[in-house]
């Protein structure tokens, strides 16, 4: 399958540093066995994973300062298209410390403030990029830095509609709520993000009902990732569930982004159930590797062709009985 190009937006990009530290000690000196430095942020991770699956991806958003320049060099080294805008301030750094046997520590800086004028400038860049007819999907992922209005993703979804491009949103809180009202083709909250816009989630039935409420508010398809409990998709065809794939995990950081990349790649083929399987496999493969957004396309495609994971329909009666 030839995958069409996608445009990803990472408003709060980061330079990711990952340290593998077997036998991590709470006190004293720790010496990493391996260090990985790469461009990061959720949209960048999606672009990387989508490229691993054979697609073409261009990433845009904000970068600033010396860290931003390092991030852009890292993008170039990976062959990810760079349409970032330079702004004042310093791009944030995020750190992950992985002890394969015990600990998993994540340190995420908040990100430098961004002027509203720069937010408007990024929207203009997105509009110009989409107008060329190159992209089939616009992917809007991650947190918004201080100064960027909560309406930013909703405004970008409307730009996608105007260009005839499908929009996917992976966000939280007011930014997600406003984006849903703009009618994106896809939203991918995790359990906590869904709870933040839909209220308490007691069981699987509550998750299905909450996802369906998001559809009634505007989202065309809602996919809720549930960690080691798998994922639930709700769309016009009803509710479907896929179990999590069991793997020997190294780090789960970026697995949701790989899930989204696999989901979009599968939807390009028009098969929602197949897309859900590819997404689950891509997310699980990332767990086996160090570094967010890292998958092995050969392994993913091999697992996709195998008996693999079964997508189960959730009629209303079964949804009421199921627990998540």
Residues in the chain: 324
257 catalytically annotated: yes
Which one, of 151, 101, 163, 95, lies nearest residue 127 by Cα? Answer: 163
Which one, of 322, 317, 313, 312, lies nearest residue 203 by Cα? Answer: 322
Task: State the Cα–Cα distance between residues 300 and 262, nearest whole angstrom.
Answer: 9
Helices and strands (H and E) in the chain: how many: 11, 15
Which one, of 11, 53, 14, lies nearest residue 261 by Cα? Answer: 53
Sign of the torsion formed by the C-alpha atoms of 47, 107, 198 and 179:
negative
Residues 183 and 216: beta-carbon distance below 8 Å: no
The torsion region of residue 13 among left (phi > 0), alpha (psi -120 to 50) and beta comes to: beta
Which one, of 250, 245, 309, lies nearest residue 277 by Cα? Answer: 309
Residue 31 to residues 17, 21, 103, 252, 314, Cα–Cα distance (Å): 14, 7, 15, 22, 48
Sign of the torsion formed by the C-alpha atoms of 303, 305, 309 and 314:
positive
Q: Exactly one of 155, 212, 257, 285 is catalytic; which is it? A: 257
Residues taking part in catalysis? 257
């Amino acid at each position: 399958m030839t995958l069409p190009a996608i445009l990803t937006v990472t408003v709060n990009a980061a330079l990711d540093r990952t340290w593998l530290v077997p036998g991590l000690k709470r006190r004293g000196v720790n010496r990493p066995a391996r260090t990985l430095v790469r461009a990061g942020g959720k949209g960048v991770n999606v672009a990387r994973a989508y490229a691993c699956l054979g697609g073409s991806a261009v990433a845009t958003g904000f970068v600033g300062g010396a860290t931003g320049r390092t991030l852009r060099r890292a993008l170039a080294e990976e062959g990810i298209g760079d349409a970032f805008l330079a702004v004042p301030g310093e791009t944030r750094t995020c750190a992950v410390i992985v002890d394969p046997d015990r600990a998993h520590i994540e340190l995420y800086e908040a990100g430098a403030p961004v002027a509203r004028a720069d937010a408007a400038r990024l929207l203009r860049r997105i509009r110009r990029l989409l107008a060329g007819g190159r992209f089939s999907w616009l992917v809007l992922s991650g947190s918004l830095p201080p100064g960027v209005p909560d309406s930013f993703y909703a405004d970008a979804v409307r730009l996608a509609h105007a260009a005839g491009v499908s929009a996917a949103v992976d966000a939280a809180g007011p930014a997600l709520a406003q984006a849903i009202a703009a009618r994106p083709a896809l939203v991918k909250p995790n359990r906590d993000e869904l709870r933040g816009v839909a209220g308490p989630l007691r069981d699987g039935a509550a998750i299905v009902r909450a996802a369906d409420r998001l559809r009634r508010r505007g989202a065309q398809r809602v996919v809720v990732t549930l960690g080691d409990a798998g994922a639930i998709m709700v769309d016009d065809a009803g509710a479907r569930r896929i179990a999590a794939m069991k793997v020997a995990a190294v780090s789960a950081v970026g697995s949701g982004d790989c899930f989204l990349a696999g989901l979009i790649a599968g939807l390009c083929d028009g098969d929602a159930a197949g897309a859900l399987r590819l997404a689950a496999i891509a997310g699980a493969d990332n767990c086996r590797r160090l570094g967010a957004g890292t998958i092995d396309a050969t392994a993913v495609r091999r697992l996709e062709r195998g008996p693999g994971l079964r997508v189960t329909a959730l009629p209303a009666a079964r949804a009421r009985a199921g627990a998540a």
